Structures are given as structure tokens and as C-alpha cells.
Amino acid sequence: MKLQKTLGFTTLALLAGYLMIPPALNAATNPESVDINKLLADAKAEAVELKTDAINMESLTRMNSGWENYASQLEMIRGHVNNSGKLLTKLKDAAPSGAPWQQTAISRIEPYLKEMADNTTTTINYLNSNQSKVRLPEFRDLVKANAENATSLEALIRDIVDYGNTKERFERLSRKLELDR
């Protein structure tokens, strides 16, 4: 019981200390990069398109569509994945000049996008080798996994962009309140 109280007080003290860090110390870290925010917004737009195309492809599995329709959707998905990869490269190049939260955000996007690229490649390879087997559960599972992954990637990037917008608005309002005092 005493150990729990001590840990609770220690945690509270650390949290209070973190919250009381002078703004001058926070300014020592990299400022938020407008360029990174723009790239994140572009990545969000690309992720929305990717998600839409992946979900549309998954809906084809319920319509017993032909392989040509899947191939067309996969081509669009591959284009979005490639565009997202180019944006990620730009983000990674810009990351050292960004704020810590931006650097963290970029590092979190990378594994999701890599998985999306790997899943898309696997799905393309399956379709190229098994055009007559698009109604089998194996193919449907690949398509469904791709749609789920695209949905997760889009949600992650959307949350990151929303966080950045909210953070910027909060800081702007805080500065205004400081000026009003």
C-alpha cells in the first residue's frame, strides 16, 4: 500500500514537473514544420483515395466480379501506394527539421505503408498467377486484408493531421490569451 502511494506521488510529481517545463525549454526543440504539415495533409488525401479504392475492390468480392475489374482496381491502389511512398520519402527527408511530434508521426506511418505495399504486391502477384481463382477464399482474404490495412493507414494519417491542426489552434489561442493579459 505504501509502495503504491509512493509510486502515485512520484508519478504525479513527474507529471507536474513535465507540465511546468518553462516555454523557453520547449522552444529549444525544433519548431513545427509547415512543410511537414503540408506533406502530411497530402499524405492524408492520398490515404483517403487509397482507402476508397481498396474498399471498392473489396466490394467486388461480393459481386463475383471478373479478374479484369480486380486488375483495374489494383492498378489504382498501386498508384496510391507509390504516391504515398514518394510522400513518405519527402517526409523522412524533412523529419530532422520538424517538431518531435512530427518526427514521431512520420516514424509511425512508415510500417503501415510498408505493410500496405507488401499486401498490394502479394495481391497483384496472386491475381497475375490465378486469374481464374478470384472467387476463392484466399483471394478474397487478401483483398479484405488490403481494405482493412488501407482503412487503418487512413485513420492513422487522419488522426495525425487532426492532432497537428488541433495543436496549432490551441497554441494560437494560448498566444492570444497571453497577449490579452
| Separation of alpha carbons 127 and 139, rounded Å | 8
| Separation of alpha carbons 114 and 139, rounded Å | 20
Q: Are 150 and 137 in contact (CB under 8 A)?
A: no
pLDDT tens for the chain, residues 1 to 181:
444 444 444 344 433 443 444 443 444 467 899 999 999 999 999 999 999 999 999 999 999 889 999 999 999 999 999 999 999 999 999 999 999 999 999 999 999 999 999 999 999 999 999 999 999 999 999 999 999 999 999 999 999 999 999 998 998 898 888 887 7
HEC per residue, 28-68: CCCCCCHHHHHHHHHHHHHHHHHHHHHHHHHHHCCCCCCHH
Q: According to the model, what pLDDT value does residue 29 have?
A: 65
Q: According to the model, what pLDDT value does residue 31 have?
A: 84
Q: According to the model, what pLDDT value does residue 24 have?
A: 39
CA angle 86, 92, 93 (to 5 degrees): 90
Q: According to the model, what pLDDT value does residue 110 have?
A: 96
Q: According to the model, what pLDDT value does residue 180 have?
A: 77
Q: According to the model, what pLDDT value does residue 179 have?
A: 81
Q: According to the model, what pLDDT value does residue 175 have?
A: 86
Q: According to the model, what pLDDT value does residue 181 have?
A: 75
Q: According to the model, what pLDDT value does residue 10 have?
A: 39
Backbone phi, psi, residue 73, to 5°: -65, -40
Domains of the chain are 30-180 (1.20.120.230)
Q: According to the model, what pLDDT value does residue 15 have?
A: 38
Q: Exposed, middle or buried, 115 (CB in 10 Å: 0-12/13-18/19+)?
A: middle
Does the predicted TM-score (pTM) go above 0.75?
A: yes
